[in-house]
Structure 1
Amino acid sequence: MTYDAVKKRLRGSIAPVVTPFTADGAVDYATLEALIDWQIRSGSHGISVTGTSGEPSSLTLEERKEVIRVAKSAVGGRVPFVPATGSVNHAETLELTKFAETIGADAAMVIVPYYVRPTQEGLYRHFLAVARSVDLPILIYNIPGRTAVNLEVSTLARLVEAAPNIVGIKESNKDFEHVNRVLGTVGRDFLLFSGIELLCYPMLAIGGAGSISATANVFPSKVAEMHDAWFAGDVKKAQDLHYELMELNDLLFVETNPGPVKAALGLMGKITPYVRPPLALPGPELTERIRTTLLRYGLLEEATQIS
């Protein structure tokens, strides 16, 4: 499949699925498969794993590969599959991205390396080497709030010119001027995905391709419906759904993602609520807020264990 063909498929709500664990902290691959099936049946337009919501820094390299492999099988070609393959370690990023290509992923999402705060030249060389190591579409993941460095638009433009398989970016960036300049500089056929929940609708309005939103873990049908409404030309409905989701979006980020998301999924009967240290689940007060909010959204009325 050509890069242009992939770009046509990568649209809408790509759900960044959490990594479920058992009560003793082992990866729960059976529940992962069930979550992915539920996501697709609920209308999600694509699946991603081992991104921020998937706790990649708590997984071993082999666990990340196995999560990606199991997820690819569970998706079964029904929607695009875009695993996150980035790491602070350059060699690991190359290895995981090549693995994603080997198993037949539709694209790979590669985060700006965190903690080390590379220069723009360092970022350019890192992403260029990753892109040139595979014949696979690449989405860059820019999340300055977590990485402490922002991929500047000028650096992105250099990368897109040098590596045609860099086809898009997930911008978890509250600087809306910046995300406007991405499309204004790189071109409006470039795939711009929102990773900031309250900017998912606004990014569609400026020409974005969709979102990769943690809220899709909890309410996949509603997040997908907002995108469907926009692409069908029903602006009023898309706006209404944007505001309808606002309370849930805010609540799920009161504490560090994916703690509140996993607490919500636990209350819904979808997973065993567990995060690996140093992350922690919400305490009783926030958990009760999550429970009452889920009730208001009607998300506990259908709470059953995935089977």
Structure 2
Amino acid sequence: MHEAIKSRLKGSIAPVITPFTNDHELDLNKLSELIEFQLENGSHGISVTGTSGEPSSLTVTEREQVMETAIQTTNGRVPVAPGTGSTNHDETMHLTKRAQEMGADAAMVIVPYYNKPNQHALYRHFKTVADSVDIPIIIYNIPGRTAQNLHVDTLARLVEDCPNIIGAKESNKDFEHVNRVLLKCGRDFLLFSGIELLCYPMLAIGGSGSISATANVEPKKVADLHNAWLEGDVATAQRLHYELMPLNDVLFMDTNPAPVKAALGMMGKIDPALRLPMDLPSEELQGKIRQTLQEYYIEV
């Protein structure tokens, strides 16, 4: 049933930030421009309202507006997989259903953060959400943000019981864990890296691509890494992996998406505004970001 989207949902799925005006209102026109920037530079898919999109700083209505703008702007040119998860179960259900109604290709549903449910509760949460829709589901496991790790056996059970759970974004530094995901869930399971330095290694074990915040700033190199791998050009993929490392490092010296927004502001793409409790990086780090962008010949 979901084979068509599984064949398309691969490569660099850019997790686009949510731009605000300088008075902290949504800037949907800028969002459309950022999505066009991604498509012009070869990104293979678009995601919004994931970690890079500051979803916890948005109202439910604003999240719907961002999702709708992304879907309309992309207009079927590449798949769109918005983040629909929340720490609130009913809110997650609502947003996932809305993503389906809007015509999203898949929904990315995060492990609930802060409340730290056990594995049985996580199974019930994800199964209830998956059973409520027909849209393909990508589970988003990011234990550094959620304080809970979705165990491989729990994920495998969900995949067996819910045909529309087709993949996972693993922002998990435990590389043994992500290897076991493909062993237990099947080699056709879509596995995306959310850890920048593991984007290339994930491809080597059979991963489907990445959902990397760095794609906001350097989309072409991130997409080209995946293109090279798919073409069997391992040397180019390795070269791009190492070329991207300094940029990856500087963009994660503070909490994502603050450094990414600072970089995009320097590039003239957005007003680099975040909503409290998030804020821009220190002046010292902004200086390092600017220097790194210049080293990549990015105009600032």
- TM (normalized to structure 2)? 0.99
Q: CA deviation at 1:111?
A: 0.0
Name 1:163's counterpart in structure 2: 162
1:1-307 correspondence runs (5 A): 2-300=1-299
Q: Secondary structure at the match of 1:193?
A: strand
Q: Secondary structure at the match of 2:271?
A: coil
Gaps of 5+ in 2: none
Separation of aligned partners in 1, 2:298 and 2:67? 28
Q: CA deviation at 1:71?
A: 0.9
CA shift digits 1:180-210 (9 cap, x unpaired): 0000111010000000000000000000000
CA shift digits 1:53-83 (9 cap, x unpaired): 0000000000000100011101110000000
Pairwise CA RMSD of aligned residues? 0.5
CA shift digits 1:113-156 (9 cap, x unpaired): 00000000000000000000000100000000000000000000
Separation of aligned partners in 1, 2:16 and 2:280? 17
Q: CA deviation at 1:284?
A: 1.2
Separation of aligned partners in 2, 1:267 and 1:124? 42
- TM (normalized to structure 1)? 0.97
AA matched with 1:64: R
* Structure 1 residue ranges (4+ consecutive) displaced by more than 4 angstroms after TM superposition: none
CA shift digits 1:245-269 (9 cap, x unpaired): 0000010000000000000000000
CA shift digits 1:270-293 (9 cap, x unpaired): 000001000110121111111111
Gaps of 5+ in 1: none
AA matched with 1:295: Q
CA shift digits 1:197-244 (9 cap, x unpaired): 000000000000000000000000000000000000000100000000
Separation of aligned partners in 2, 1:283 and 1:180? 37
Q: Secondary structure at the match of 2:261?
A: helix
Percent sequence identity is 67
Q: Secondary structure at the match of 2:26?
A: coil
Separation of aligned partners in 2, 1:283 and 1:202? 32
